[in-house]
Structures are given as structure tokens and as C-alpha cells.
Chains A and B, each alone.
Chain A
Amino acid sequence: MIGTVARKEIISNLVSYKFFIVILLTSVLIFTSFFIMHRDYKQRLSDYHIIKPKPNEPIAVIPPNPLSMFANGLEDAMTRSFEVSLIGIETRAGQASGNIIFSFFTSPDFLYIVRVVLSLVALLFGFDQISREKEQGTLRLMLANSIPRSKMLAGKWIGNFLSLSIPFLLVTLLGFALLNLDSDIYFSPGNLVRFVIMLAVTLIYIALFLSLGIFISTLTKKAAASIVILLFIWALFVFVIPNLGTLLARQMVDVPSVRALSEKKEQIWTREVLLRIMDGREGKETGVSRFQAIHNEMDKLEEDYRNKFNRLIGLSKNINRISPVASFIYAVTDIAGTGIGEEGHFKTEIIRYKNRAFLDIVSDKTEYSPFNYQYRSLSQILAKGTMFDIAWLVFFNIFFFALSYFSFVKYDVR
């Protein structure tokens, strides 16, 4: 019985204007996004080959991450060049920092398209499921047969989910296959697994908005009313809650700004240089111990900042998770290796490398150990909150579906 309802949904979707528009939109956007991000990735790759450190340079640069084509996240911050010297770490940022317009608008990657546009599309599939059929009078007719309401709802959900997700998956996989035609692009098996998981999370995310759409549809008698409510909930979930939540967390945790921290470091450095000179010019031995002392003071400052900042990130994560969209962003960027968790891990590794290279420099070695970065493994990522984010998305799915069931059972179909 569920199959019949689902089939009916799919067929009626296939011939609708809505379906036409949605498929057009999705394919155009996904192909455009893949094309743009692919070219951008290639440019960054060729830049990387120019700036790649030679074996005897104490410089840490990692190659661009191919998964950043789908979720750019903090890739720009992670692919900077970190140069270690006696003074500490000198950071140089890449191309995107030279064009201010990049910081006005989010990058149009796959994550963005799904997060903003696909969620809207899923709502458009769900918003008139019940109320439209009531307006047309077909709901009464359907329920005049011996079909329980729960089965009808399940059939509608499945039918719509399939007619939304199958074209989406086809388009995405086609785009992905086209990317693989380029011999410069190489996805390791690990990255392929990550991509598949990202797709699975994406499907959960789309299903969530479909369930939400159906739920609101069972609450209203008119399709026009449900689209208004849904668009506002969408704006709240996608834009307002995550972005205001971050600012709210910032008000609650006292973290010095980046400027304040770097000014303080600069002051320590110049002060120590002056004091060292006023003590009389010392021999090499005491000079080294002085540098060591400066480093220790800086490291303490740095550690203090990092601790506070991690508290801020933890709090903002928990506030933002009120909106499932934030969970989706956290999950996908972390799986892609461009998320906040990965970036924190990366910085810890850079600091560790700096400490090692610093010792090399003060002991007058001419060869420095190279910087090798290992992205966190999938199991580590899942254990560090991503599992929770995925479970949270699933929970929202079940929650909205259960709500729509309860309100549909009590729905007045006349």
C-alpha cells in the first residue's frame, strides 16, 4: 500500500512544473559549483607547487585538500605558509586574502549549495503535501479507501524523498565522475569513503527538511500559509540561529581578540630584546637561553589563548546546534578535513613542529626536519563530536516525522 502511494507521488512529481524547476536549479548549481571549485582547486594546487618548501627550509605548508572542492570550510587558513624562525611563526596567507570580495560572500561549494538551496528545495517538496491535497479535495477521496493515515504519510514521505534524492544523487555523482576525468585530481580511497559519508549526511539533511515541510503542511489548512511559515523557519535555521549563536557565545566567553594577542606578543618580544641589550651584549649561550625564555612566555600566552578559544568553540557549537543546519556544517566540514576540529588539530601540530624546528635552529643545524601532516582519521573525527552531529540530524528527522504523524492523524480532511 505504501508502495502505491509512493509511486503515485513520484509520478505526479515527475510531470509537475515544480519538479522541472527544481531539477534545473539543482543541476545548474551543482555543475557550476563543481566547475568553479575545481578551477579554484587547480589554481591553488599550482600555487602550492610554487611555494612548496625546499628540504632545508623550516617551513610548514600542506597541499590543498581535494575534498575542499566540496566543503571549503577553513581550507584557506590551513593552506597558509607557516615559517619558523627565532622570532616564532611567521604566517603568510594565500590568494583569497588579496581580494576583499571573498570575505563578503561565502564560497559557493557543494556544502553551501546543499545547506542553502537543497534545504529550500526539500521544503518546496514538502510544504503542500497535505494542505494542497485537501484544497484539491483528493485527500478525502484517498482516505475514503481503506488506507491507514500512517501508511499514507509514509508513502508520501518515501515518494517525495526518492523523487528528490535520486536526481540529486545522479547529478552529484555525474559531476564527481567528471571531476575524476582530470588527471591532476586524485581522490585517495580514504577520501572516497569520506565523500560517500558526506553524501549520506547530505541525504539525511535533505530528508530532515522534507519531514519539516510535511509537518508544517499538516498544521495548516492552506498551502500558501505553510510556505510562509516554512520560509521563515528556513531562514531562522539556515542563517539566523547559527550566526547569532556564535556572536552570543562570544559575549559569554571572554576571549581576547586576535589583534590583542598579537600586540601583546609583539610587546614581549621588543621588551626582551631591549632588556637583553641593556644587560650588555651577551655570548651565544646566554643569547639562546634568552630566546628560550621569550619562547616560553609566548607559548604560555598562546596556550592560554587556545584554551579560552576552545571553550568559546565548545560553547558556540552547543548553542548553534539548536539549528540542525549547524550540525550539518560541523559534520560535513569535519569529515572533509576542513572543519573547526581539524583546524585546531592542525594548529597544535604546527606548534609542535615549531618547537622542534626552534631547537634545530638554536643548535645551528642546517637541515630541518620536514613538516608532515596527517589528517585526523575518520574514527577520530566521528568520536570528536561528528557522530553526535549525525545522530542529532537523524533525531531531528524522526522528531519532525513523528510530529507530522501525530498532527496528520488528527487532521481534518474535509
Chain B
Amino acid sequence: MLSTIIKKELLSNIFSFRFLVTFVLLLVIVTITVFILTDNYVKKLDEYSQRQREIENYLGDYAHFNRINNVVRPSQPPVPFYSLIRGLSSDSNIEKFDNDPLPVIFPLIDFTFIVTILLSLVALLFSYDSICGEKEDGTLKLMLSNRLSRSKIILGKIIGGTLTLLIPFLLSLIIGLLVILLNPRVLWKGADWGAFGLILLGSILYFTFFYCLGIFISSRHHSSSSSIMTSLFVWVFFILIIPNLSPYIASFLAQTPSRIKIDREVAMITDVERDELGRKLSGERRIEMYRNYPVLAEKLSQAEIKRRVAQDPDYRKAYKELRDAIGQAWDEANRIQGGKVDVLEKELHRKQEAQERLAIWISMISPLSDFTYLATDLSSTGIRSRSHFGRIAEGWWRAFGAYTMKKLASLREENPTADWWNTPVDVSDMPRFQYQQEALKDRFGGTIRFFVVLIIFNLIFFTAAYFSFIRYDVR
């Protein structure tokens, strides 16, 4: 009996006008979006390798350790998922002078958008009249005059409805995937397909939530024209309002100190104050060394010093010790100032993270945010992948720091009189930054809570729809 209802739902949906419109629209939008995103991904790939080449060229010609950190700064390569999901990649680079204003005003459209906005709208459009519409037509009375339980009807309606709507969604997605697969530059690996499967599961959960919600609203109303009003009203709140309010509410509840002020303080501590402290400490060391090695106190020209270092081994030893002592003094200054900066930045970071966490929890009331976080995290384009990139970069900085120290020591051995920081060096053996996406298992682990929330939402509204329909006045 259940299958009859499902079949009836399927057929009546498929031959409806709205099914046709949905189908055409999804097909067109998905194809165009994936096409443009893929094209853009390829362009991003080219630009990324071009940038890497320029860095290599620079290092080949002008590598030296003063300010090299600003040049070799690692950056995240485009991930293959960019041809489907963009997440936070459309970065406006607000910390740079030439920030990009366009993504702020016109956020990108991707698969997440298609699911969260279009698919939820479609789900409500198909379900808003599935109970009250049949009542208006008088077919609900007829159906129930047969020996058919209400629970079977509601179950059949939900199953049949979701099945029909999955057809246009999946078909348009297949076309989109074809566009991706046919492009030789886009290479999806096993983990990408696994992530895609999980995202697909998430989108189906998201979709059934809205379908159940629509049926619930439909069974609370007796005319379809008021049902669509309520549905759209609820939709606007869930989709367009709650997520957008959440970061603001969080910023009022968990306040952070002024970033610009702390930024300036940090710059002051590491720049002017560090130089003062360094000069003071190295001056003290210098006087101390002059006492131990009176030969050093003599005022000599650079050329004379070089000559003496080359000829006189005692002088060479004394000179080397002086420079080592001064180097240590500067290291000490850096360490002290670095400690101060650490305290400031840790405090700011802690408060910011608390605010961000609060914003996420608030926005999780809306299934749109749940799905957005889930899809972006799984596709390595979200919040998780940012911190993952940060971790890899941190490891690389440590390796690079050790490499710098080693290189500087060998420069010091070679020539104690040289300005080691500003001597051209060969850095072809430096550690290279390698980006690896986070393992799928870890990504999934982080998104379980979003899956759970979506499932709970589903259960709540399924039960609500069920009980409302059981008590529905069909006359």
C-alpha cells in the first residue's frame, strides 16, 4: 500500500509544471556554475605555479637572509574541490592594501549555494501544498475513505516527494561532475570522492529536513495560499536571517580588544623597542668584551679589521667572540620582545577564538550554516582547513628557521667580518613547503556534530509532521 502512495506522489510530481521548471533551472545553473568555477580553478592553478616560479627566480638571484621570511612565505595552493565548492577561498585579503572589494559585495556562487538556497526553496515549493492542497482538491477525503492508515500516507508522501526531487538534483550534479571529469587539469583523488559522497549525504539530509518542514507547515494549514506564506516566512528566518545575525550577536556577547591597537603595539614592540633594547644590550656586551680583549677597543677601519682577521689568529678569535656576543645580545633582545608579543597575541587570539566558537554555535540553529560548515570543512575550503594550513605552515617555519640558523653558522665560519644577514647565499637546498590536505578521516571527525544536528532537525520535523497529520481535519 505504501508503494502505491509513493508511486502516486512520484508520478503526480514528475508531470507537474514546477518539476519541469526546477529541472531546467537546476540543470542550467549547476552546469554554468561548475563550468565557470572549473575554468577559474585552472586559472588559479596557473597563477599559483607562476607565483612559485617567480619566488624561485628571486631566490636564485637575490637570496639573502635579511627579510627572506617575507619572500618565502608559504601560500595555500588551490585544491581540486574548488571547481565545486569555494568556501573561504574567495578571500578578499583585507589585511593587504589592495584588498579585493568584489567578493565582499558579491559572494561567489558554488555548490553550497545551490544546495542551501535553491534546493531548500525547491523542497518547500513541492511540499507546502502536499497536505492542504489535497484537502482543497478534495482528494484527501477520498484517499482516507479507503482502508489506508494516515501514517502510511504521510510516510509515502515524504518518501515519494524526496525521491522525485532527488532526480533533478542528482542528474544536474552528474552533468556538473562530467564537466569536472572531462577537464584534464582537474584531478580528483580517492579522498576527494569520499568527501564528495559525504557532502552529498549532507545535502540529502538538508533537503529532507526542508521537505519535512514543508509538510509539517502544510498540515498545520487549511489553505495552500496561507501555507506558502508561512513556509516562506520560516525559510527567510532559517536561511537568510539567523546565519547572518550570528557573528554580530557573538561579537556583542564575547567582545575582543581592538585588533588595530594590539597590532600597532606589536609592531612597536618588535621594531623600535626591540632596536633600543638590542642596542643597549649589545653596548653592554661590547664594553665587557673590550675589557677582556683590549685589542678590540682600538678604532680601526673596515679594511684594516679584515686584514688583521686574516693575518692575526689571536685577533681573529677575539673578533669572532665579540661578534658572537653581540649576536647573542640581539637574540636576547628578540627573545624578550617576542615574549611580550606572545602574551599580547595569545590573549587576543584566545578571545577571538571564543567569539568565533560562539558565532558557530549560534549559527548552528540554522541548517544552512550546518550544511555550509559541513561542506566547506569536508572539501578543505573551510575553517578547519585554515587552521590545518596554519599548522603545516608552522611546521615548515620551524624547519626553515633551523635551516636559516645552520646556514648563518656556516657563513659565520667562512668569514667572521662579513654582514651575514645581507650576504647573497645559495638557498637551493632549503626546505620546500609541501601542502597536503587534511586526512579525510579527521575532516569527517570534525563535521560529525553538523551531521548530528541535521539528523536531529530531521527527526524533530518528521515527528512534528507525523503528529500534525494524524490529527489533521481532512473535511
Q: Which residues of A contact B (CB under 8 A)?
A: 17-18, 21-22, 24-25, 29, 32, 36, 39-40, 43, 47, 50-51, 73-74, 76-77, 80-83, 88-108, 112, 116-117, 120, 124, 128, 132, 223-225, 227-229, 231-232, 235, 239-240, 242-248, 250-251, 256-264, 266-267, 269-271, 273-275, 277-278, 302, 305-306, 309, 312-313, 316, 320, 326, 329, 333, 339-340, 343, 347, 350
Contacts and interface: CB of A to CB of B under 8 A. Distances in A.
A250 B263 CA distance: 33
B21 A228 contact: yes
B25 A232 contact: yes
Interface string B382-406: 0100100000000000000000000
Contacts of A18: 225-226, 229
B352 A316 contact: no
B256 A74 contact: no
Contact of A247 (B17, B40, B118, B252): B40
Contacts of A227: 125, 228
Contacts of B346: none
A250 B40 contact: yes
A266 B71 contact: yes
Interface in B365-390: 369, 372, 383, 386
Interface in B330-384: 348, 352, 355-356, 359-360, 363, 369, 372, 383
A228 B125 contact: yes
Contacts of A225: 17-18
Given A25-B236, A274-B424, A302-B98, A223 B225 contact: yes
Contacts of B138: none
Contacts of A339: 105
Given A263-B51, A266-B70, A329-B105, A104 B243 contact: yes
B94 A40 contact: no
A77 B225 contact: no
Pick the most buried of A24, A39, A98: most chain B CB atoms within 10 A of its CB. Answer: A98
B40 A270 contact: no
Contact of A36 (B36, B245, B359, B424): B245
A231 B125 contact: yes
B262 to A, nearest CB: 9
Contacts of B105: 73-74, 329, 333, 339-340
Contacts of B224: 224
Contacts of A132: 225
B264 interface: yes
Contacts of B259: 92-95, 97-98
Contacts of A259: 51, 75, 93
Nearest to A255: B100
Contacts of A102: 247
Contact of B247 (A105, A116, A242): A105
B326 interface: no
User: Interface residue tally of chain B, by bracket?
Assistant: 35 or more
A18 B229 CA distance: 6
17 contacts: A74-B101, A77-B92, A90-B267, A92-B264, A105-B247, A120-B236, A228-B18, A232-B21, A247-B36, A256-B47, A263-B73, A267-B54, A273-B66, A274-B66, A278-B424, A305-B98, A340-B101
A177 B233 CA distance: 27
Given A21-B233, A43-B251, A228-B17, 15 more contacts: A29-B236, A77-B94, A91-B95, A92-B263, A95-B258, A99-B256, A250-B40, A261-B98, A262-B96, A262-B98, A263-B55, A266-B70, A267-B58, A274-B64, A309-B98
A269 B225 contact: no
Nearest to B39: A251
B228 A270 contact: no
A302 B97 CA distance: 10
Contacts of B248: 36, 39-40, 107-108
Contacts of A316: 102, 106
Contact of A244 (B32, B95, B260, B267): B32
Given A50-B258, A81-B260, A117-B236, A247 B25 contact: no
B99 interface: yes
The 8 closest A-B pairs by CB, nearest first: A101-B359, A258-B93, A108-B244, A101-B247, A228-B18, A105-B244, A243-B109, A98-B352
From B105, B121, B360, residue with most partner A Cβ within 10 Å: B105
B240 A229 contact: no
Contact of B102 (A228, A244, A246): A246
A270 to B, nearest CB: 5
B147 interface: no
Contacts of B170: none
Given A21-B229, A39-B252, A104-B88, A229 B21 contact: yes
A92 B260 contact: yes
Interface string B35-59: 0110110011001001100110010
B68 interface: yes
Contacts of B386: 100
A292 to B, nearest CB: 19
B29 interface: yes
A224 B137 CA distance: 13
A95 B348 CA distance: 11
Nearest to B66: A273
B172 to A, nearest CB: 14
Contacts of B225: 17-18, 128, 132, 223
A105 B246 contact: yes
A278 B36 CA distance: 48
B108 interface: yes
Contact of B108 (A93, A112, A247, A320): A247
A350 B75 CA distance: 28
Nearest to B109: A243
A278 B70 CA distance: 20
A74 B108 CA distance: 16
B169 interface: no
A117 B237 CA distance: 10
B54 A108 contact: no
Contacts of B88: 100, 103-104
Contact of B129 (A39, A224, A232): A224
A103 B88 CA distance: 7
Contacts of B356: 99-101
A98 B256 contact: yes
Contacts of A90: 267
B117 A239 contact: yes
Contacts of A262: 93, 96, 98
Contacts of B75: 259
A95 B256 contact: yes
Given A77-B104, A250-B40, A274 B62 contact: yes
Output the residue of B66, B125, B247, B261 with the most chain A CB within 10 A: B247
A263 B32 CA distance: 32
Nearest to B228: A227
A248 B50 CA distance: 22
Contacts of B102: 246, 250, 312-313, 316, 340
Contacts of A120: 232, 236
A99 B251 contact: yes
Given A98-B256, A263-B51, A273 B261 contact: no
B107 interface: yes
A83, A89, A270, A305: most-surrounded residue (chain B CB, <10 A)? A270
A128 B226 CA distance: 13
B204 interface: no
Interface string B105-134: 111110001000110010001000100000
Nearest to B67: A270
Contact of A94 (B50, B107, B121, B260): B260
Nearest to A72: B104
Contact of A104 (B39, B62, B352, B372): B372
A17 B71 contact: no
B226 A17 contact: yes
Nearest to A116: B240
